[in-house]
Each structure stands twice: as structure tokens, then as C-alpha cells.
Amino acid sequence: MTEIAAGSPAPAPQAGRRPEAIKAIPVRHPWRWLSAVLVLAVAADAVYTLVTAPNMHWGVVGTFLFQRLIREGILLTLELTVLAMAIGIILGVILAVMRLSTNPVVSWLSWFYIWFFRGTPVLVQIFFWFNLALVLPHIGVGIPGGPLLFGVSTNVLITPLMAAVFGLGFNEAAYMAEIVRAGIISVEHGQTEAAQALGMTRLQVMQRIVLPQAMKVILPPTGNETISMLKTTSLAFVATVPELFTRAQQIASFNFYVIELLVVISIWYLVMTSILTIGQYYLERYFARGVQRELPMTPLQRFRRMLFTFRAPQAPLT
């Protein structure tokens, strides 16, 4: 193919020859540039106001950003998120499969669980587990109405951390169950039939055929839930779990730099959610295999493309 200078008239296609690729002047988008300038100006003003606020001690932010207590708080926040989401996802999948079971008792049980745990505030649930020892001092196995055969003190079994994990995780399971159920329903019924016709059992069909395909519907909202959970862990404050938010409150109660410490933990929350967002993106890419002919672009590829063209990214071919 020979190069022709931009702007020179394109030669008419000749018979028997492949015509040159079209090189047209793209449509200009002056409003995009104008709106970008406007947004940047407003953002710059907001940042300027905050940075130069007379009583804002940025030095304090710097001091506490990597302080030991804050670092420990971050670890605990991550631990809470992972544990609560693990309970939420595992229990959620089980509840979703139960909900769609042909056994009415199992299905009804799942419905009841979702109704209960979705219908009460998560804050109340965390408080409930935290204070369970008030009504049940011992937990164990025994004869109803008779003696306890084996048991431990509730306060030993349900530490503040466990109270927060149970409260957050059991509540999350109710939401995850609905997300997973939506994913399962979204898989075409022909898939189930084809698998059944091969002699696969209900459980095998679910595990091998339906759930893997449901993943592409389940994943985006699950990423959303995980990010949401990361921030909701701050409710563990009420169970005296020294996670990130609790730590900030504790430090601020000594030095009164309330806003500064909130800025510190906001930075950390943003960092963590950003990492999760990237992880979610690559996970979704993985589960898109066999569904899309071309994998969607990675954020880096998309960023480059956006920088160099400043156009709306095109939808990938399906």
C-alpha cells in the first residue's frame, strides 16, 4: 500500500485493485475540550481551598500517613474485608443454589435467611454478635432443656473481631445470594439441558456448567460489594475492633486533629479501593474467555488510546 498525503484527494477505486484505506478528517469535539477545562478549573479551585485552609495541618497528615497504628488499622481492615467477603461469597453461593433447589424445605430456608439478614441493619447485627454473651453466656452442644455437654464461654468464642466478621459476613451472604441467583438465572436453559442429556447430575451441572458461565454476571456486582465491604468494615468500630477508622478516631481523641486523620484514612481507603478495582478488571477479563472474540482492552491500553485520540473508546467486537 502506498502512502498518500493527508488532505490530498483520495484516488477513485480502480477495478481489480484494493482501494486505499479511508483517511478522513475526524469530527472535532470543541465542547469536550471546553468542558474538560471547566472541570479542571473547578477541581483546582476546590483543591486550592482545602490545601490553603488556615486550620488544616498538612504536616499532621504526613506524619500519620505511615504511622504504626494506622498501618495496623489498614491490616485489620483488609483482614475484616477478606474474612467477611469469604463468608459472604461462600454462604451466598450455597444460599443461591439452595434457593433454586427443587426441595421446598431447602428453598424456603434460603428465602427465610435472606429475608432476615437483609431486613435488619448490619450495624444492629454486629452489635448483636458483640453482645451475644449478655443473653447466652455459654455456647455449645447439649440436650435442649437439659445439661450442656460441651461448651465454651461466648466471650471466648466470639471475640470483637469475630463479632464484626459474623455481622458483616452473614449480612453480606444475603446480598451475595441474590447476586449469584441472578447470575445462575442468566445462563441459558439449553446449557442445563445439554449437560443433563449427557447424564450429569444437578450438582455437576451447577458446578461445571452453570456457575462458570454465571460468573460474568456475578463478578461486576461482587467487585462492587467487595469495595463497599472495605468501607463498611468501619462499622466494626462499634465492636471495638481497632481497624482503620477506629484507629483514626482513637488518635484524634488525643490530638484533636479530626479532619487531618480523616484525610489520612480517606487516602488509604482510596488506595485500597483502587487496587481492588484493578483486580476486578482483570478477573472479569479472565471470565470473558470464550464469550467475546476479542478480550477487552486493559486499562493501560485504554488509557493510551484515550490520551492519543481523545475519543470515546469503541465497544469491542462481540
Partner 1 sequence: MVKAEAVHKSFGRLEVLSGIDLEVQPKEVMCVIGPSGSGKSTFLRCINHLEKIDAGRLSVDGELVGYRQRGDKLYELPDREVCQKRSEIGMVFQHFNLFPHMTALENLIEAPIRVKKASRSTAVAYARALLERVGLADKTNVYPNQLSGGQQQRVAIARALAMNPKLMLFDEPTSALDPELVGEVLDVMRRLAADGMTMIVVTHEMGFAREVGDTLVFMDGGVIVESGKPREVLANPRQERTRSFLSKVL
User: What is the rounded distance in angstroms from the CA atom of residue 42 to the CA atom of residue 197?
Assistant: 62
Residue located via cell numbers 477487552: 296
Locate 119 and state its grid cell: 431486613
Site string for partner 1, 149-178 (x = CB under 8 A): ------------------------------
Phi and psi torsions of 149, nearest 5°:
-80, -40
Site string for partner 1, 198-237 (x = CB under 8 A): xxxxx-x---xx--xx------------------------
Question: Closer CB to partner 1, residue 70 or residue 215?
Answer: 215
User: What is the rounded distance in angstroms from the CA atom of residue 153 to the CA atom of residue 126?
Assistant: 18
- For residue 6, the 8-state DSSP code is T
Question: Closer CB to partner 1, residue 14 or residue 102?
Answer: 102
Element (H, E) at 266: helix 258-287
User: What is the rounded distance in angstroms from the CA atom of residue 13 to the CA atom of residue 17?
Assistant: 7
Smallest distance, Å, CB 282 to partner 1? 17
* Window of 127-135, 165-173, 188-196, 238-246 that interacts with partner 1 by CB under 8 A: 188-196
Does 293 bind partner 1 (CB under 8 A)? Our answer is: yes
Does 186 bind partner 1 (CB under 8 A)? Our answer is: no
Among 18, 28, 68, 289, binds partner 1 (CB under 8 A): 289
In this structure, how many other beta carbons lie within 10 angstroms of the beta carbon of residue 118?
14
Through-space distance between the first and last CA atoms of the chain, rounded to whole angstroms: 29
Question: Closer CB to partner 1, residue 37 or residue 194?
Answer: 194
Helices and strands (H, E) in the chain, number of each type: 13, 2
Does 104 bind partner 1 (CB under 8 A)? Our answer is: no
Does 191 bind partner 1 (CB under 8 A)? Our answer is: yes
Applying CB under 8 A, which residues contact partner 1? 188, 190-191, 193-202, 204, 208-209, 212-213, 289-291, 293
